[in-house]
Structure 1
């Protein structure tokens, strides 16, 4: 995008978070937006996701990262996670790269530039007892140890009205401001690779250490609206108790200052991210988290 493409109409500008909204986000660690996408845009996203599940790809990843989430039909009626949909599908990318979305994130993060970090398409089948539908408590920064930024955030975009009975995203209010205990090598592993009881225990111990109660806020998200949360906000989601699938994209975002850093684990190995085997290299040989092929810029002031 050229700088002239990072602009909003007057109507779009009216949808940006107010100063009060920015203060709310800073205090609570999450924010529910106004309607950022029209019904037609969301319906186009549904159609593009149907094509994606049918095997349509405009681009293929040149290599398969070690921790890639990539549902395929043979995996069955479990919760589906597919990373890099913004890279593989031009139709999905066109909708996700709406400048308004980036401008909202920039206002919340108090950053002049926002880039995509990752996009994951999610499908929760309407099977109340399906164990994979339950996402245990976690926060995203744990998995981004190789990123320098503490301003990263995630935007959650359902393809429909998303009430609690569908297993909507649920925030632990204000948890991004907690001092953390119990952080060890295990926290860099994705929640799918860890025991749910261990994660529940970590949440309870961190709340006790900070002298606060765990306040869980399920976010009812109307169609076309989005929730945003800070990279250190604990969140999760429950089972889908409805009669239709819960479909959404979790769009992880980075501010323009974010870059790769070496983060060594106790055994001396480096924590990494899937990008590290895909993106171009910087002049000094580090993975470039500003590679426009995988981390395109959504907004620049």
Structure 2
């Protein structure tokens, strides 16, 4: 979806759904926010239908190359938890609903940014299979995977396709953990949680909580259909098993502020960390990957009066 197809306007009704100053302050303190109903039932149902078509093989276009750490569930993988990246790129039907300016405007207020771009989108299905190990998502923070991003204000919108509660294994956050000073970081944290040892991730959470003298207060987010949860890129989060008897379906929609750009992040051996975008997006004049490439990272929201700058897309906030 190109930026030309997006209109950065909100209706009077949508303006009433934006977070208040108190909501923004809550997000700044706690690292998460649960929105009012941002998507209509019809829009959510359209997302669910588009997801089913995607699982059946429907693609508006395909990635030109396969990145090294691409999450791409296929039927032969069986009844494990499904993760499929870049669905906003590969499915126009998903992007048409998901890339809603209202969602971007909410994210912009929470992040304190004048522009919000898509960073990544992951279609998720947590099957109703008792005891399936992949259904339990260990504690992690998204910024670890985004080490090549300069911004500390990136955030994730979790968009379920139905009412989502603890029984379904809803998203659970560690309240206020985005404000912790991080210790014990290793190269391994740049890998996806599915490629990490679960006990090691649990240990890292405990170490950081202890270092900060903090209580590990876990908050399961009960999200009604059409509502969206947002969490800061440094908020610890995970999810439990799905014991509801029904699949848990959602999109994890990762967002970047307009100031975000690629930065080289050195690993302990001196090599550079790599994100999947780095083999897909266009290059800046200095050779760096362009995280403002509209093909893969389209603008979701730009505040009225904000100027779109060339290159990596910097903004004033």
Provide TM-score, normalisation by structure 1. Answer: 0.99
**Corresponding position of 2:184:** 182
- Aligned counterparts, 1:147-162, within 5 A: 147-162=149-164
| Counterpart for residue 16 of structure 1 | 18
Aligned twin of 1:87: 89
Equivalence for 2:43: 41
Is the counterpart of residue 114 in structure 1 residue 120 in structure 2? no
Alpha-carbon shift at residue 128 of structure 1 (Å) = 2.1
Q: CA deviation at 1:2?
A: 4.9
Change (3 A) 1:73 1:173: same
- The CA deviation string for residues 85-126 of structure 1, in whole angstroms up to 9 with x for no partner, is 000000000111110000000000000000000000000000
SS at match of 1:298: strand
Given that residues 153 and 254 in structure 1 are in contact (C-alpha distance below 8 angstroms), is that contact kept between their aligned partners in structure 2? Answer: yes
Residue pair 2:32, 2:232 contacting (<8 A) in 1 also? yes
Q: CA deviation at 1:272?
A: 1.3
Query: 1:19-62 deviations in whole A, cap 9, x for unaligned?
Result: 00000000000000000000000001111001000000010101
Q: 5+ unaligned residues in a row in structure 2: which ranges?
A: 304-317
Match for residue 297 of structure 1? Answer: 299
From 261, 264, 277, the counterpart of 1:262: 264
Post-superposition CA distance 1:253-296 (Å, at most 9, x none):
00000000111111111001000000000111110000000000
Q: Is the 8 A contact 1:3 1:300 kept in 2?
A: no
| Paired position in structure 1 for 2:275 | 273
TM-score by length of 2: 0.94
Q: Does 1:128 align with 2:137?
A: no
The alpha-carbon deviation at position 214 of structure 1 amounts to 0.2
Corresponding residue number in structure 2 for 1:141:
143
1:29 to 28, 31, 39: 31
How far apart in 2 are the matches of 1:46 and 1:252?
18
Counterpart in the other structure of 1:53: 55
